[in-house]
Structure 1
Amino acid sequence: MKEYERKGLLERVNREAATVGAEIPEAIEIQGEPIELQSFVFEIKRRDTVPPGERERVEQAKRNLRRERLERLEPIEENEVSYAEGEALAASIIGIDRALDALEGLDAPAPETEAKRQEAADRKRWMSFLKKALGRDSAGGTRGRTRF
């Protein structure tokens, strides 16, 4: 493979938006063991959060996917494959990245949920500040200030 082809493949797999539009592979072989990757990711993502019993399984899957990604990237970095083989490896790496992205985002709250939680916390801090500034306690009375 020519140097500019190798650099192009490396740029493609390391691009931040490489997974946009990419599909998770149906199946993948990791360390000689076939894994039904797409069904595993969809099964886990169907739930709102990862159940405690599944957490270790998901973490192990992520570690295995990261290891496999590095193993597939190395022949491209070392220029040990033809351009056609590098293309196939790059496509599989992007599929692995897509699966990792899906698995990484499992425990993070949705942006809307996080925004609502932040807004509620801000409102609570503001009300607490106002109560202190106006000298009111939580029972609605006054503390140390006389009102006329």
Structure 2
Amino acid sequence: MKEFERKQLLERVNREGATVGVQIPETIEIQGEMIDLREFVFEIKRRDTIPAGERERVDQAKRNLRRERLERLQPIEDNEVSYEEGRQLANDIVGIDRALNALEQLRPVDLTQEEKLQNAADQKRWMNFLKKALGRGGGASKRGGR
């Protein structure tokens, strides 16, 4: 591949906004294993947040995708592939970046719904306690002042 072609491919994969309009690949081979990447991302993304039980699975997927991105980028950087092979690798990289962006946008769920309800109930009890304590304190001083 010619130097300007290599630079062009590298610029494409490193460009801000390179993933705009790009679809997540249906499947991808990572470390010799075929992964239904689009299905996985959509399954996780449907939830809008990462459930506590899924956090490790999502984190592992992101690590694997980042590693695979680097492995596909290296032959382009080292000029070890033809321009056609480089174009295919660049397409793969942009697709991987699209999947990574989708997974990065998810918010982790730090508290389960039950924990949120428990915290709200604890706050309510604390506020009631403070109101009573302050009310008794005020009532006692009024009685003491008569």
Q: In 2, distance between residues paired with 1:104 and 1:46? A: 14
Partner residue, 1:90: 90
Partner residue, 1:58: 58
The one-character-per-residue Cα deviations of 1:45-83 (angstroms, maximum 9, x if unpaired) are 000211111000000000000000000000000000000
Partner residue, 1:80: 80
- Greater gyration radius: 2
Partner residue, 1:132: none
Alignment of 1:1-148 (within 5 A): 1-107=1-107
Q: In 1, distance between residues paired with 2:101 and 2:70? A: 16
Which has more helix, going by share of residues?
2
Q: In 2, distance between residues paired with 1:24 and 1:54? A: 20
SS in 2 for 1:34: strand
RMSD of aligned residue pairs (Cα, Å): 1.8
Q: In 2, distance between residues paired with 1:48 and 1:60? A: 18
Task: Report the residue type matching 2:71 in the other structure.
Answer: E
Task: Report the residue type matching 1:14 in the other structure.
Answer: N
Q: In 1, distance between residues paired with 2:16 and 2:61? A: 22
Q: In 2, distance between residues paired with 1:22 and 1:48? A: 20
Task: Report the residue type matching 1:94 in the other structure.
Answer: V
Task: Report the residue type matching 2:89 in the other structure.
Answer: L
Percent identity between matched residues is 77
The one-character-per-residue Cα deviations of 1:27-52 (angstroms, maximum 9, x if unpaired) are 00000011000000000000021111
Q: How many residues align?
A: 112
SS in 2 for 1:18: coil
Unmatched 5+ stretches in structure 1: 109-148
TM-score normalised per structure 2 = 0.73
SS in 2 for 1:64: helix
Unmatched 5+ stretches in structure 2: 109-146
The structure 1 segments of at least 4 consecutive aligned residues displaced by more than 3 Å after TM superposition are none
